[in-house]
């Protein structure tokens, strides 16, 4: 077998010699053809080869990847060491809190605080705490930033402490852009280098994981990466591999030419619908084919961003000439650009039209020429609707009568129109298109309807640079699309309040109000509590619907408004041509612009710099804080080798249907005063105006556990006819908030389970969907199928995912939530995929036995679950490593 040392080869770039772990050495040794392997598999193969001898990775791990076959059914556990970790503040700050608590636990056991420290680079981009309190006027951005600092000073002080206390952590302060766009425009290097002990410089792929499901966006520029939970990210930071289950690699073969008037958003919404129908959950997706090279890197990033909406692990575009052009455009150094091309060619990671097409487990043919203008909604990103059918779709899906009131709030009225950050504002073509549409609308005398809250939250300051330079921002401003800030806002549920009069009118008329946004998520109750229907679309269409004021209209035939000349204006009259867009883009988007805005990426403003932060090795917890609380994850299990115990007499806490998202599970959006979380904050004398959003309270487990399963649109079949976070306590029959019922069960010593349908946990990689589940006392989730990220996160919190046999569901079993459930047999599990018999006792005493498969898909997942979760697993590993070092020192 080729060893780590034997695989080293040298190559040259910009006059310097570099070493690499050559895949060609493996090809020569084993006689396989690297050119027929998918490019993402080549990246994984290099990663495993380079880490042979680290963390128990052996040559057999390399051989398993070499033996991957498109026809194979087995899952290959890939021990993946990402080169770096990328975090946003909603998930990143709780991660730092966990590390701070781990340091406390380490010191309590007589060890050094510095024993807990990231082993790979970590970037924290503070971008998720922006709330669009102010919109539609010139001062919106500055006022929103003032509100953001007022609400989040404690959290930001912790981030500043972590930057000084931990090695290798960089913090991007608020107001600099969203993590995904900052990542592709500046942070990502595509190839990284490391000085070796013998003086050689080792080059290797820039891979990453991020604590946000849309971390997949970086695949658009040829960097393999995906979203993980913060608890998995902590393990990666501390030097452990993430064991990735590799099965199917699906190739999407792109052909055809994009039609005039079709945007990247239309392509990705069509592709999302298609891939959801095909079924790519848990698969690696890779794009190739004769039209792959025709897509701009910005278009590729738009597609890669929405991999979580496909359900796939990633959506990978290999490095090619367009990638190199993008690196030059975004101001990367000539030396880095040359290194990327030289390394990619050396390692056969370079794609061009002459290269043979790789072999894939399954191929999806996708003709770009078939894509038409589209939106998606009203509840899911995969529910594509062709533009002419939007009104019909709205009426059918929302069971709405045609609108009768055109000048005011009615069914279908658009009350929120938001050009949001990461999916589309990475793409200058659609942003310039939106600006040109705004300009033409202004020239015709059109205005946004007065009941529409309009906002623009770019993912990058570069967007403002080219919009301002071309005068397009002024046109957007005239329609109310002033910049409200740089960050994830409306798409993440931080849309802010509507005008009180508008809210009153919606409630008084019981209107089915609508939000339109250029984002990637439109799940129920996510965008705004009063927007019952939510449609995703391109930025130009967001503006068009703001002008129309309703979705109960066919924009392809009906006039969008009346011009100053008294004549009807149609969408076609104001829609810019691709030639117009390209003309502006080629002049306005320049390398100088990127260099200008990224020169001070890590420098804060005066407010940030004035924040006082501790500089000690241990975090100074404040007992009175309602934002930062020491988490309880190291109170149990940390000194035990096995946290597994039988589950007897469990009660179902919830009985749920299909497509339960992490938005349904995890606390998200505003905190209601009447909710258990709101009552807790009130008891601490926090005024309701200072409740902030759940996302900003993620470092306070006491708030977050009270908001778990508190979504106002949750439908728990244990309490049919009741909408929201409620359940029935058995045996009293009392209907209670989920948290209150779980607390009572805990007092009674009753373990809990959750029973659900298909696609349980689809949506964002929200840690708190798993953390909250565990803290509620849930020991197992029994579902028909699981989404990849949430299943992994449940295991990481010590919760057992169990899958029903095909054809067996809560409905076929006739479950109603009154049952008692005993789960035995997992105590002796030694390998992935084992089964157990669930004993279900009905209220009348009859007993059902159901064989269920444990969705512990790799040996590593089994180890982590046995330890009680990833945090006690990692902590014990650190203790053991320290003990071994101590023995060596004594010897």
Domain 84-370 in CATH 3.40.50.620? The answer is: no
The proportion of the chain whose per-residue pLDDT surpasses 90, expressed as a percent, equals 81
Dihedrals φ, ψ of 8, to 5°?
A: -70, 135
At residue 890 the predicted structure's pLDDT band, cuts being 50, 70 and 90, is: very low
Token pair in block for residue 100: 């701070």
Residue whose tokens read 């373990």? 751
Question: Tell me, what's the pLDDT at 883?
Answer: 59
Question: Tell me, what's the pLDDT at 232?
Answer: 87
Name the least confident of 129-133, 493-497, 638-642. Answer: 638-642
The neighbouring-strand residues paired with 780 are: 753, 800
Containing 854, the helix (H) or strand (E) segment is: strand 847-854
Distance in angstroms (rounded) separating the CA atoms of residues 254 and 274 = 13
At residue 789 the predicted structure's pLDDT band, cuts being 50, 70 and 90, is: confident
Closest-CA residue to 112 (of 786, 785, 878): 878
pLDDT digits (tens, 9 = 90+) for 150-204: 989 999 999 999 999 999 999 999 999 999 999 999 999 999 999 999 999 999 9
Q: Is residue 239 scored above 60 in pLDDT?
A: yes
**Cα torsion for 357, 362, 368, 372, to the nearest 10°?**
-170
Question: Tell me, what's the pLDDT at 818?
Answer: 97
Name the least confident of 29-43, 424-438, 745-759. Answer: 424-438
β-pairing, 513-517 vs 453-456, is: unpaired
CATH topology of domain 647-666+708-877: Aconitase; domain 4 (3.20.19)
Question: Tell me, what's the pLDDT at 885?
Answer: 55
Q: Is residue 358 scored above 70 in pLDDT?
A: yes
User: What is the DSSP code (8-state) at residue 369?
Assistant: G
Mean pLDDT, residues 291-299 taken together: 95
Q: Is residue 889 scored above 50 in pLDDT?
A: no
Question: Tell me, what's the pLDDT at 509?
Answer: 92
Q: Is residue 56 scored above 70 in pLDDT?
A: yes
Question: Tell me, what's the pLDDT at 275?
Answer: 96
Contact 26, 4 (CB under 8 A): no
pLDDT digits (tens, 9 = 90+) for 569-578: 999 999 999 9
Distance in angstroms (rounded) separating the CA atoms of residues 727 and 464 = 47
Question: Tell me, what's the pLDDT at 641?
Answer: 63
β-pairing, 84-88 vs 76-80, is: unpaired
Distance in angstroms (rounded) separating the CA atoms of residues 435 and 423 = 17
Token pair in block for residue 323: 């990638």
The larger pLDDT score, comparing residue 888 to residue 822, is at: 822
pLDDT digits (tens, 9 = 90+) for 437-482: 999 999 999 999 999 999 999 999 999 999 999 999 999 999 999 9
Mean pLDDT, residues 390-399 taken together: 94
Closest-CA residue to 281 (of 252, 304, 306, 248): 248
At residue 886 the predicted structure's pLDDT band, cuts being 50, 70 and 90, is: very low
Contact 568, 304 (CB under 8 A): no
Question: Tell me, what's the pLDDT at 693?
Answer: 82
Containing 19, the helix (H) or strand (E) segment is: strand 16-21
Q: Look at domain 376-589 and name its CATH class.
A: alpha beta
The larger pLDDT score, comparing residue 166 to residue 282, is at: 166
Q: Across the chain, how many H-helices and E-strands are there?
A: 31, 32
At residue 668 the predicted structure's pLDDT band, cuts being 50, 70 and 90, is: confident
SS3 sequence, 553-621? CCCCCCCCEECCCCCEECHHHHCCCHHHHHHHHHHHCCHHHHHHHHCCCCCCCHHHHHCCCCCCCCCCC
Q: Strand, helix or coil at 154?
A: helix
Mean pLDDT, residues 143-153 taken together: 94
Closest-CA residue to 497 (of 130, 127, 134, 129): 134
CA 790, 514, 385 angle in degrees (round to 5)? 70
Question: Tell me, what's the pLDDT at 282?
Answer: 85
Average pLDDT over the chain, rounded to an integer: 93
SS3 sequence, 611-679? CCCCCCCCCCCCCCCCCCCCCCCCCCCCCCCCCCCCEEEEEEEEECCCCCEHHHHCCCCECCCCCHHHH
β-pairing, 414-419 vs 513-517, is: parallel
**Cα torsion for 208, 213, 219, 225, to the nearest 10°?**
20
Contact 711, 772 (CB under 8 A): no
Closest-CA residue to 85 (of 206, 244, 193): 206
CATH code 3.30.499.10 region(s) in the chain: 84-370, 376-589
Q: Which residues contact 82 (CB under 8 A, 6 or more apart)?
A: 120, 207, 208, 209, 225, 236, 242
């Amino acid at each position: 077998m080729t060893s780590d040392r034997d695989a080293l080869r040298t190559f040259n770039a910009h006059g310097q010699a570099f070493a690499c772990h050559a895949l060609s050495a493996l090809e020569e040794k084993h006689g396989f053809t690297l050119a027929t392997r998918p490019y993402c598999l080549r990246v994984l193969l290099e990663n495993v080869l380079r880490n042979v001898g680290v963390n128990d990775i052996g040559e057999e791990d390399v051989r398993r990847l070499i033996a991957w076959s498109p026809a194979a059914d087995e899952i290959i556990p890939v021990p993946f060491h990402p080169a770096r970790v990328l975090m946003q503040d909603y998930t990143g700050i709780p991660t730092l809190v966990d590390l701070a608590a781990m340091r406390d636990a380490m010191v309590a056991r007589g060890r050094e605080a510095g024993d807990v420290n990231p082993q790979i680079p970590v970037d924290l981009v503070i971008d998720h705490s922006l709330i669009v309190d102010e919109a539609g006027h010139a001062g919106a951005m500055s006022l929103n930033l003032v509100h953001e600092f007022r609400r989040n000073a404690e959290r930001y002080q912790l981030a500043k402490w972590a930057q000084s206390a931990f090695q290798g952590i960089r913090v991007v302060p608020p107001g600099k852009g969203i993590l995904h766009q900052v990542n592709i425009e500046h942070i990502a290097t595509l190839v990284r280098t490391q000085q070796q002990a013998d003086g050689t410089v080792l080059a290797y792929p820039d891979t990453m994981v991020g604590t946000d499901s849309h971390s997949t966006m970086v695949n658009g520029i040829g960097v393999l990466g995906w979203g993980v939970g913060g608890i998995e990210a902590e393990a990666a930071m501390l030097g452990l591999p993430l064991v990735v289950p590799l099965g199917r690699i699906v190739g999407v073969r792109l052909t055809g030419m994009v039609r005039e008037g079709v945007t990247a958003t239309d392509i990705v919404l069509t592709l999302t619908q298609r891939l959801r129908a095909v079924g790519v959950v848990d698969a690696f997706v890779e794009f190739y084919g004769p039209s792959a090279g025709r897509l701009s890197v910005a278009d590729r990033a738009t597609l890669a961003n929405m991999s979580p909406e496909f359900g796939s692990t990633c959506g990978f575009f290999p490095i090619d000439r367009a990638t190199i052009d993008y690196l030059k455009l975004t101001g990367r150094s000539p030396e880095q650009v040359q290194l990327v091309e030289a390394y990619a060619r050396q390692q056969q990671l370079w794609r061009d039209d002459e290269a043979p097409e790789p072999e894939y487990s399954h191929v999806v043919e996708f003709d770009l020429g078939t894509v038409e203008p589209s939106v998606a909604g009203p509840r899911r990103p995969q529910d594509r609707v062709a533009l002419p059918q939007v009104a019909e779709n709205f009426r059918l899906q929302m069971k709405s009568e045609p609108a009768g009131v055109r000048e005011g709030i009615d069914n279908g009225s658009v009350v929120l129109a938001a050009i949001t950050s990461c999916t589309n504002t990475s793409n200058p073509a659609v942003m310039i298109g939106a600006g040109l549409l705004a300009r033409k609308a202004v020239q015709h005398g059109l205005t946004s309807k007065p009941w529409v809250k309009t906002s623009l939250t770019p993912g990058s300051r570069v967007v403002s640079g080219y919009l301002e330079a071309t005068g397009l921002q002024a046109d957007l401003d005239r329609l109310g699309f002033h910049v409200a800030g740089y960050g994830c806002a409306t798409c993440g549920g931080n849309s802010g309040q509507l005008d009180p009069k508008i809210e009153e009118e919606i409630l008084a008329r019981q209107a089915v109000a609508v939000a339109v946004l250029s984002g990637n998520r439109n799940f129920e109750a996510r965008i705004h509590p009063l927007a019952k229907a939510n449609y995703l679309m391109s930025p130009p269409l967001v503006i068009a619907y703001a002008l129309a004021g309703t979705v109960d209209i066919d924009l392809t035939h009906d006039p969008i408004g009346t011009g100053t000349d008294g004549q009807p204006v149609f969408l076609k009259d104001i829609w810019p041509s691709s030639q117009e867009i390209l003309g502006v883009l080629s002049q306005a988007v320049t390398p100088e612009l990127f260099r200008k805005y990224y020169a001070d990426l890590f420098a804060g403003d005066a407010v940030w710099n004035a924040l006082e932060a501790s500089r000690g090795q241990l975090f100074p917890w404040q007992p009175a804080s309602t934002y930062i609380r020491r988490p309880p994850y190291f109170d149990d299990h940390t000194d035990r080798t096995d946290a597994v115990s039988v589950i007897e007499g469990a009660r179902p806490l919830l009985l749920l249907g299909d497509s339960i998202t992490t938005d349904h599970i995890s606390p998200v959006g505003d905190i209601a005063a009447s909710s258990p979380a709101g009552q807790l904050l009130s008891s601490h004398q926090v005024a309701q105006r200072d409740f902030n959003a759940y996302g900003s309270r993620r470092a306070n487990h006491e708030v977050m556990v009270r908001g778990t399963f508190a979504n106002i649109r949750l439908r728990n079949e244990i309490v049919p006819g009741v909408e929201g976070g409620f359940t029935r306590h058995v045996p009293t029959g009392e209907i209670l908030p989920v948290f209150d019922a779980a607390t009572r069960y805990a007092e009674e010593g009753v373990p809990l389970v959750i029973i659900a349908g298909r696609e349980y946990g689809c949506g964002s990689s929200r840690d708190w969907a798993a953390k909250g589940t565990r803290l509620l006392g849930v020991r197992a989730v029994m579902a028909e199928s699981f989404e990849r990220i949430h299943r992994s996160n449940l295991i990481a919190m010590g919760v057992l995912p169990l899958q029903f046999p095909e054809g067996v569901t809560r409905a076929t079993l006739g479950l109603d939530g009154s049952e008692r459930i005993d789960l035995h047999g997992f105590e002796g599990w030694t390998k992935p995929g084992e089964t157990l018999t669930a004993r279900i006792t009905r209220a009348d005493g009859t007993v059902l036995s159901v064989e269920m498969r444990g969705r512990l898909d790799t040996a590593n997942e089994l180890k982590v679950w046995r330890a009680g979760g990833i945090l006690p697993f990692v902590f014990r590993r650190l203790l053991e490593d320290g003990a071994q070092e101590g023995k060596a020192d004594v010897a």
